[in-house]
């Protein structure tokens, strides 16, 4: 340990690059022949897609393809794996286990239901706004209380039983009985989630806004049926993540698949509005705490 480091103000290794604008983040990367992707996002919270009309969108100049559940690649789900120090560098981990466009089911508002790939970002966004999606809505569970009413509490599997706590609590002269709530929290760093993906000789390469490049690599290898050595993930600069960039989200899989299907590099930057929907959250919580004590 360097004792001189205590209380010092050393220069950040990447400080000059960041404050001068020389640091290149994922969304800053542009490759020769690169295409741009923009998502079409569900406007319902639960149900099924019953139709996707792409006719008007395909007339926008520069549109190369419009991907959805009827024409997307068949991929593999990464096996669910518990997170531990022993598995964090080798396992394939996804927060959203379902793959993008694997079926017509809608699980939440803001879910990817189609992806426009075009020669420019502006053309891709314009075309995405012209894609017409029809739905068969289903009842959605919008909060924790509705979820608890619709289902039932589950044992976490690590509990134990000892004594008669309810009897002893009710008989105690001093009691604290409180319920604490935390609201939904969204991870919304300044740098939005982004992927630039391309394929070379069967190998997958990408720039990614990722806090965990090895986990990202391993997960994509499982999803695309590759060896980890065939996937490279580069993330030299990250504009914060708050944990939301530890594991991959649907946009990364979609960008890699679009690059494979078009044979060209593809950039996909998640719009700010979808940073609240398709890149995770900290869910609402409710804790009921009961404490009791004797008068002494």
Q: What is the pLDDT along the chain (296 residues), one digit of tens a residue?
A: 677 888 888 888 999 999 999 999 999 999 999 999 999 999 999 999 999 999 999 999 999 999 999 999 999 998 877 667 777 667 777 888 899 999 999 999 999 999 999 999 999 999 999 999 999 999 999 999 999 999 988 777 776 777 888 899 999 999 999 999 999 999 999 999 999 999 999 999 999 999 999 999 999 999 999 999 999 999 999 999 999 999 899 999 999 999 999 999 999 999 999 999 999 999 999 999 999 999 99
CB atoms within 10 A of CB 20: 8
Q: Is 114 left (phi over 0), alpha (psi -120 to 50) or beta?
A: beta
Report the alpha-carbon distance of residue 219 to residue 102 in Å, rounded: 17
Residue environment code for 79-113, b if the CB has 16+ CB neighbours within 10 A, otherwise e: eebeeeeeeeeebbbbebeebbbeebebeebbbbb
Superfamily of domain 18-139+186-276: Aldehyde oxidase/xanthine dehydrogenase, a/b hammerhead (3.90.1170.50)
Q: In the prediction, which pLDDT does 236 show?
A: 94
Q: Is 17 helix (H, G, I), strand (E, B) or coil?
A: helix
Q: What is the largest CA-CA distance in the chain?
A: 80
Tokens at 250, concatenated = 């649907």
Q: In the prediction, which pLDDT does 80 show?
A: 79
Q: In the prediction, which pLDDT does 1 show?
A: 60
Report the alpha-carbon distance of residue 274 to residue 272 in Å, rounded: 5
């Amino acid at each position: 340990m360097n004792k001189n480091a205590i209380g010092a103000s050393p220069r950040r290794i990447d400080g000059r690059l960041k404050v001068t604008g020389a640091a290149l983040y994922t969304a800053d990367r542009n490759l020769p022949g690169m295409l741009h992707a923009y998502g079409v996002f569900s406007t319902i919270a639960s149900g099924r897609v019953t139709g996707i009309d792409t006719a008007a969108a395909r007339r926008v100049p520069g549109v190369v393809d419009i991907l959805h559940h009827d024409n997307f690649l068949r991929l593999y789900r990464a096996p669910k794996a518990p997170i531990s120090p022993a598995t964090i560098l080798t396992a394939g981990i996804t927060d959203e286990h379902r793959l993008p466009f694997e079926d017509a089911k809608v699980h939440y508002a803001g879910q990817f239901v189609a992806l426009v790939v075009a020669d420019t970002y502006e053309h891709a966004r314009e075309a995405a706004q012209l894609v017409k999606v029809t739905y068969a809505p289903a009842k959605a569970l919008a909060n924790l209380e509705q979820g608890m009413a619709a289902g039932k509490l589950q044992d976490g599997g690590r509990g134990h039983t000892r004594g008669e706590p309810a009897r002893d609590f009710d008989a105690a002269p001093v009691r604290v009985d409180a319920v604490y709530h935390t609201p939904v929290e969204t991870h919304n760093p300044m740098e939005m989630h982004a992927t630039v993906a391309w394929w070379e000789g069967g190998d997958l390469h990408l720039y990614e806004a990722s806090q965990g490049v090895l986990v990202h690599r391993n997960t994509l290898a499982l999803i695309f049926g590759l060896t980890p050595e065939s996937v490279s993930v580069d993330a030299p600069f990250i504009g914060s993540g708050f944990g939301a960039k530890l594991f991959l989200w649907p946009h990364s899989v979609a960008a890699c698949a679009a690059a494979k299907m078009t044979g060209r590099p593809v950039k996909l930057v998640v719009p700010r509005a979808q940073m609240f929907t398709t890149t995770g959250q900290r869910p609402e919580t409710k804790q009921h705490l009961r404490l009791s004590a004797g008068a002494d």
